[in-house]
């Protein structure tokens, strides 16, 4: 029998791609979303699919649905979005995760948690293995998200220990690809959208901070491998190739328009200086590693933005 999957945050960037993947596997999908950062445009095409349903719902309120798998993605992911109402972000990460874990316990569903590399804060070591406990400012402007996701992980493991909920915790490192929102604010789409509009590219700080960018198709394959495995995690899912923000800007300018100017702006408080995943655990436990190189993934993402910005 087809599995019934609940995706919270199913109208967002990763939710779109996970929906596409699960429907293509012949499974059923119920999406719940409050459209805080997600878009109805991302779900229109599924509405006529008999295996798809959508419910407008805020995860800070409880919900009861008979499902086999819960993929808990609901939470704004871009710093500008999660910082615009930080108390709401804390409620989403705590109450939202609590409500969905409680549901998983009641209906005996498998529970996937979309956690983040932000649990490592501004890391002092690189690459970051899962055993690293992080360097998080508990009272800074990123703490609603960083501490919120740490709390989400804590809840997952307490539901696992107390109620044997079948959890899977993924720590996601900077993903990118088509179906990110044009005004999402994260670096890859910001740079692409700025360059396509002919605007200056905004680099925060001196651009020497690093990130590792994972193309969304690789990431979604990692989600499915983790859910199908018998490993609780936490496990890092990301691409281990590290780039400075200056390098990213140069690559995108080369692809779109070399003449676009760069404008340097102040580095936001607590912006991590380096981030690169150690993916040994994902390789060992899931046989997973990313395949799409940044060059190739950027071409696909630029093509998407060219189409929607016409
Ligand atoms: P996104 O902002 O595109 O999608 C988040 C979705 O959650 C949106 O559709 C939004 O409307 C919905 N949402 C937010 N708060 C909600 C609430 N209270 N109730 C119901 N729906 C709500 O972000 P994304 O990139 O798709 O990220 C999805 C998940 O993955 C998030 O939990 C994020 O923390 C995690 N994550 C993503 C990345 C990444 O690089 N994309 C990295 C680390 C972690
Ligand atoms: N950044 C930037 N210009 C932008 C957007 C982001 O220089 O227009 C920088 C940001 O300061 C950070 C990095 O790019 O150092 C990644 O930012 P993003 O918001 O994508 O995600 P983060 O990894 O910080 O959560």
- What mean pLDDT is predicted for residues 154-171? 98
Atom of ligand 1 minimally distant from the CA of 10: 9
Residue 204 CB burial class (10 angstroms; 0-12, 13-18, ≥19): middle
Atom of ligand 1 minimally distant from the CA of 88: 18
* pLDDT number for residue 2: 84
* pLDDT number for residue 236: 98
- Banded pLDDT at 310 (limits 50, 70, 90): confident
| C-alpha separations of 269 from 82, 122, 177, 238, 241 in Å | 14, 11, 26, 24, 25
Q: Which residue has the tokens 């093509």?
A: 303
Q: Which residues lie across from 55 on neighbouring strands?
A: 32
* pLDDT number for residue 87: 98
Catalytic annotation on 145? Answer: yes
Cα-to-centroid distance, 192 and ligand 2 (Å) = 13
Pick the CATH number of 4-174+215-238 from 3.40.50.720, 3.20.20.70, 3.40.190.10, 3.30.390.50: 3.40.50.720
| C-alpha separations of 151 from 111, 133, 140, 296, 308 in Å | 16, 13, 16, 36, 37
- Banded pLDDT at 150 (limits 50, 70, 90): very high
Cα dihedral 142, 146, 148, 154, rounded to 10, equals: -160
Continuous segment of H or E residues that includes residue 81: helix 79-84
- What mean pLDDT is predicted for residues 5-33? 98
Instruction: Kindly state the DSSP code that residue 112 receives in the 8-state scheme.
Output: E
Q: Check if the beta carbon of residue 161 is closer than 8 Å to that of residue 232.
A: no
For residue 186, pLDDT over 90 is answered with: yes
CA-wise closest residue to 189 among 43, 300, 310 = 300
Q: What is the mean pLDDT of the chain?
A: 97
209 lines ligand 2 (CB under 6 A): yes
| Residue whose CA lies nearest to ligand 1 atom number 12 | 9
| Residue whose CA lies nearest to ligand 1 atom number 29 | 73
Q: Helix, strand, coil shares of the chain as percentages rounded to 5?
A: 40, 20, 40
Atom of ligand 2 minimally distant from the CA of 79: 19
Q: Which residue has the tokens 């800070």?
A: 60
For residue 192, pLDDT over 80 is answered with: yes
Exposure pattern of 243-275 as b/e (b: 16+ CB <10 Å)? Answer: bbbbebbbebbeebeeebeeeeeebeebebebb
Q: Is the pTM of the predicted complex or chain greater than 0.95?
A: yes
Chain centroid to CA 240? 16
Instruction: Kindly state the DSSP code that residue 118 receives in the 8-state scheme.
Output: G
**Choice from 6, 7, 8, 9 to test ligand 1 binding pocket (greatest atom count within 8 A of CB):** 9
| Residue whose CA lies nearest to ligand 1 atom number 21 | 33
What is d(CA 186, CA 210) in angstroms, rounded to the nearest whole number?
A: 14
For residue 1, pLDDT over 80 is answered with: no
- Banded pLDDT at 278 (limits 50, 70, 90): very high
Taking residue 45's Cβ as centre, other Cβ atoms within 10 Å add up to: 12
DSSP labels for 10-71? Answer: TTSHHHHHHHHHHHHTT-EEEEEE--SS--GGGTGGGTT-TTEEEEE--TTS------SEEE
190 lines ligand 2 (CB under 6 A): yes
For residue 84, pLDDT over 90 is answered with: yes
Q: Which two tokens stand for residue 279?
A: 């993916």
Residue 297 phi, psi dihedral angles, 5° rounding: -65, -35
Query: Could you state, in order of their start, the residue ranges of all structural domains in the chain?
Result: 4-174+215-238
| Residue whose CA lies nearest to ligand 1 atom number 6 | 9
pLDDT digit string, tens, across residues 92-146: 999 999 999 999 999 999 999 999 999 999 999 999 999 999 999 999 999 999 9
DSSP labels for 170-190? Answer: EEE--EE-TT--TT---HHHH
């Amino acid at each position: 029998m087809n599995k019934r999957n609940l995706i919270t945050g199913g109208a967002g960037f990763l939710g779109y791609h996970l929906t596409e993947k699960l429907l293509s596997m012949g499974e059923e999908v119920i999406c719940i979303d409050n459209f805080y950062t997600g878009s109805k445009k991302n779900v229109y095409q599924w509405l006529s699919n008999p295996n798809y349903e959508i419910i407008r719902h805020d995860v800070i309120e409880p919900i009861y649905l008979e499902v086999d798998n819960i993929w808990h993605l609901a939470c704004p992911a871009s710093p500008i979005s999660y910082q615009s109402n930080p108390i709401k972000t804390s409620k989403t990460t705590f109450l939202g995760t609590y409500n969905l874990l409680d549901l998983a316990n009641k209906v005996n569903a498998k529970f996937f948690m979309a956690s983040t590399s932000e649990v490592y804060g501004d890391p002092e070591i690189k690459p970051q293995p899962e055993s690293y406990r992080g360097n998080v400012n508990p009272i800074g402007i990123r703490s609603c998200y960083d501490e919120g996701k740490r709390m989400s992980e804590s809840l997952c493991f307490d539901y696992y220990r107390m109620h044997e909920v079948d959890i899977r915790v993924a720590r996601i490192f900077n993903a990118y690809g088509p179906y990110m929102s044009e005004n999402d604010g994260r670096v890859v789409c910001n740079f692409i959208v700025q360059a396509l509009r002919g605007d200056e590219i905004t680099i925060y700080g001196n651009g020497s901070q690093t990130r590792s960018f994972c193309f969304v198709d690789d990431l979604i394959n990692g989600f499915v491998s983790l859910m199908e495995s018998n490993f609780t995690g936490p496990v890092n899912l990301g691409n281990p190739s590290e780039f400075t923000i200056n390098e990213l800007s140069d690559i995108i300018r080369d692809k779109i328009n070399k003449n676009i100017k760069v404008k340097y702006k102040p580095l936001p408080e607590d912006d991590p200086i380096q981030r690169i995943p150690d993916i040994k655990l994902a390789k060992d436990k899931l046989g997973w590693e990313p395949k799409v190189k940044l060059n190739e993934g950027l071409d696909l993402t630029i093509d998407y933005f060219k189409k929607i910005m016409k």
